[in-house]
Copies of this chain bind each other. A is one copy, B any other.
Amino acid sequence: MTYCVALLLDKGMVFASDSRTNAGVDQVSTFKKMHVIVQPGERLITILSSGNLSITQSAINLLEHHSQEKDSNKTIYSAASMFEIADLVGHALREVRRRDGPYLQQNNIDPGATFLVGGQIRGEPQRLFQIYAEGNYIEASPETPYFQIGESKYGKPVIDRVIRRDSELLEAAKCVLVSFDSTMRSNISVGLPIDLLMYDNNSLNAGFQRRIDDSDPYFKMIHNEWGEGLRRVFAQIPNPYWNQP
């Protein structure tokens, strides 16, 4: 499986993806699920992917391939809005599923794939979209400043409790890492390294990118402190005091 999360905050955006893939349980590998497109001063686009790896890789490759065709008039490098980018990703996904889907389904292999697509294009505010397996999409709104794909449930409670639209980027990155730690603690299909990208609103540059593996001292610290902190909070809550028989 996979876990990806993207936050759309006043001060910028935070993207993170794990890198574990598996075909069955006996073929586990590491693949980057974050694809970043930068034209300094012009655009920063980050695409996170979940689902069938051959489908998501082919869709990303198609997006890049189309952008190099001579007669292509609208590509991820030339689109004037994030809405158009979301549309291009949805189209690429549909194209790949048309091509490969029937063959996969002959062997009952799920061709499903979803994407988070966010970033900023000059002249527009930052925007964040979730592309569904069918190629349709929704956009994050002020009331819902984040999207998750993949194994999203383990790490959702902490985001729900901590993240607000006006959270600082570094604090949001910390929350995202706690969310990943909770997910990886309870689900072995999500694994290190984590690819993290922090983007400052209106900067139109590549932002701060970091690959976090098991030697990362900050992530190790979070892993220990969060676990100990949870157990401490738990211990401080009194046991039930209902009248027992």
Knowing A157-B154, A157-B185, A173-B240 touch, does A178 contact B229 (C-beta < 8 A)? Answer: no
Write the chain B residue with the least CB distance to A237.
Answer: B225
Known: A237-B174, A237-B222. A156 touches B208 (CB 8 A): no
Judging by beta carbons under 8 Å apart, are A186 and B171 in contact? no
User: Contact at A185–B161, with CB atoms within 8 Å?
Assistant: yes
- Taking CB as reference atom, which chain B residue is nearest A178? B234
User: How far apart are the CA atoms of A175 and B105 in the complex, in Å?
Assistant: 42
| Minimum C-beta distance from A184 to chain B (A) | 10
Report the interface size for chain A: residues with CB under 8 A from the other chain.
45
User: Is the Cβ of B161 less than 8 Å from the Cβ of A230?
Assistant: yes
Q: Is A210 interfacial (CB 8 A cutoff)?
A: yes
- A235 to B: closest C-beta gap in Å: 9
For A173, list chain B residues within 8 Å (CB): 239-240
With a cutoff of 8 Å between Cβ atoms, the chain B residues found around residue A237 in the complex are 174, 178, 221-222, 225-226, 229
Task: Give the distance to chain B from A223, nearest Cβ to Cβ, in Å.
Answer: 10
Which chain B residues border A225 with CB–CB below 8 Å? 233, 236-237
Q: Which chain B residues lie closer than 8 Å to A168 at the CB level?
A: 239
A88 to B: closest C-beta gap in Å: 29
In the assembled complex, the CB of A56 is this many whole angstroms from the nearest CB of chain B, namely 22
- B231–A230 contact, CB under 8 A? no
Which residue of chain B has its CB nearest to the CB of A210? B242
Nearest opposing residue in chain B for A174, CB measure: B239
Q: Which 10 A-B pairs have CB atoms at the shortest separation, nearest pair first?
A: A229-B233, A153-B153, A170-B239, A157-B182, A156-B186, A157-B186, A225-B237, A153-B154, A160-B186, A208-B244
